[in-house]
Amino acid sequence: MTTDHPEQTEEPPEPTVREIDLDEALGLAVECQRNGRFGDAGSLYRKILELVPGHPAATHYSGILEQQQGRLEEATALLEKSLALDPTQADWHANLAINLQARDMFDEAIAACRRAVEIDPGHANALSNLGALLRAKGRVEEAEEAYRAAIRLNPDHIAAYMNLGILLAAQHRTQEAVWCYCKVTTLNAHYPPARRMLALAHIMVGEVDKARRIYEETLAQDPDDPVARHMLAACSGADMPARASNACVSTLFDGFAANFETRLAQLDYRAPALVEAMLAASGVRAEKALDVLDAGCGTGLCGKLLSPYARRLTGVDLSTGMLQLAAQKGVYDELFHGELTAYLRANPGQFDVIVSADTLVYFGALEEVASAAAAALREDGRLIFTVEEWTDAEEHDEFTLKPLGRYVHSQRYVERAMGDVGLVPRVERSELRLEGGAPVPGLVVCATKPAGGGVSYA
């Protein structure tokens, strides 16, 4: 007789638990940070600093983490603390410079970059960033030398070539700038910013056909590129859209965001100051009594000027990159991501003042945005904006799209577009900025919504 015995099974082994050392924990935290897992990275850094309160690297990377989450002052404190613990790290000084630049502390950022280069004379990135900082301070000769030094150290340094090209173009050394952009395209043939800047450089020297071919080549590679499609229309004169598409505007300005204010400063950009002067001249007092909308707020250059007038200051823009920088100004009560005409239509009767500095240059037809603004204004409210003037417009001309991608408008058309929706316009001529060293003629408009007008808006 046989007896069946139940089958014997082995117990599964206990999982092996191994403690990781500080270096492994730091490496894991950095990896989490690189992959956008900021919560996990922060937890690991805190645990490391609980064990070793003066851990220089954990302190430093915690500072970078704070910066990545928009807490710039907290980031500065941690980055400076890490350098007090270990001042020999060239990369850390370079990172501090980036942080200080984001806080508009350019002199301190320049000093940090110089310290990075003193520690490591071969630090090409620090030299390239130093060039950008010096350019922002108007020290163009020193900036050029910094860019060229970065290129000598790293002949493939795309950012240094791009920034040098921008600097040279601003000095009207357009052919040299073209060479820099061409060099970038040889290093990375599909690098969109370089191709765009090369096309713009050709336009600046009157070689519009060469720019048109670049945009045609770009669209052959990427038929959905919204900027190339808009710029091809601008250069060819064919299929001119009534306004730049949302995708074009957001792509264009997300790419510009990081260096936007620096570049405008070099162009003697005056639109925000002109808008604020027109607001003051309209009889409005700076008593923080008004609900104000900054339509197309960008990085918030108008915000600081409008704040004294505003009980509540709202900004709206299509570019998330621009809005992030506007938030850092600390002057807006609300910021919205969206297209300004749609936002206006969704907020009837909500504003005493609507301003739009250098935004309607991306609108050709003004009827729809004028109607939406009129509906969003309260009685006796004001719409104040700038556009570029079409100085050689014929009597019947309204607007056209110039090769650089911005629309120009005739004064007659602007006045009619405002009047047709019940607004009463007052128009002044002014110079908005420099372009190729020449002033750009513009119109500064204050369109008032009369009290008790009884106008209905489409």
Q: What does the pLDDT look like over 96-147, one tens digit per residue? A: 999 998 888 999 999 999 999 999 999 999 999 999 999 888 899 999 999 9
Q: Lowest mean pLDDT: which of 77-81, 180-184, 329-333? A: 180-184
Q: What is the CATH number of domain 267-448?
A: 3.40.50.150
What CA–CA distance (Å, rounded) separates 9 from 7?
6
Q: 224: which residues sit within 8 A by CB, 6+ positions away?
A: none
Structure tokens at 129: 């960033």
In the predicted model, what is the mean pLDDT of residues 277-285? 94
Alpha helices in 1-157 (DSSP H): 22-34, 38-51, 56-68, 72-85, 90-102, 106-119, 124-136, 140-153
Q: What are the residue ranges of helices labelled H in 188-317?
A: 192-204, 208-221, 226-236, 246-256, 260-266, 271-281, 303-306
pTM of the full structure: 0.70
What is the tens place of the pLDDT at every residue in 197-206?
888 888 887 8
Q: Is 285 helix (H, G, I), strand (E, B) or coil?
A: coil
**Is it the case that residue 24 has pLDDT exceeding 60?**
yes
Q: How far apart are CA 417 and CA 431, in angstroms?
A: 22
What long-range pairs does 127-134 form, CB within 8 A, spacing at least 24? 127/153, 127/160, 128/157, 128/159, 128/160, 128/163, 129/94, 129/97, 129/98, 129/101, 130/97, 131/160, 131/163, 131/164, 131/167, 132/101, 132/163, 132/259, 132/262, 133/97, 133/101, 133/106, 133/109, 134/110
Task: For helices 56-68 and 38-51, give the axis angle rounded to 10 degrees.
Answer: 150
Residues shown for the chain:
458
pLDDT at 455: 42
Instruction: Give the separation between CA 195 and CA 192, rounded to whole angstroms.
Output: 5
Check residue 3 and give its pLDDT: 42
Rounded Cα–Cα distance for residues 245 and 125 (Å) = 35
- Check residue 5 and give its pLDDT: 45
Angle between helix 158-170 and 174-187 (nearest 10): 160
How do beta strands 399-401 and 407-409 pair? Answer: antiparallel
Can you give the pLDDT at residue 188?
A: 80
Distance CA 83, CA 63 (A): 11
Domain map (residue ranges) of the chain: 22-86, 267-448
Higher pLDDT residue, 228 or 102? Answer: 228
With CA atoms as reference, report the closest residue to 64 among 38, 86, 27.
38
What span, in angstroms and rounded, lies between the C-alpha atoms of 2 and 80?
81
Q: What is the mean pLDDT of the chain?
A: 89
CATH class of 22-86: mainly alpha
If phi over 0 gives left and psi between -120 and 50 gives alpha, with beta otherwise, what is residue 429? beta
**pLDDT value at residue 206:** 86
Q: What is the Cα–Cα distance from 402 to 138, expressed in whole angstroms?
A: 29
Q: Tokens for 144?
A: 């050029």
How far apart (Å, rounded) are the C-alpha atoms in residues 151 and 9?
68
* Whether 201 contacts 195, CB under 8 Å: no
pLDDT in tens, 408-419: 999 999 999 999
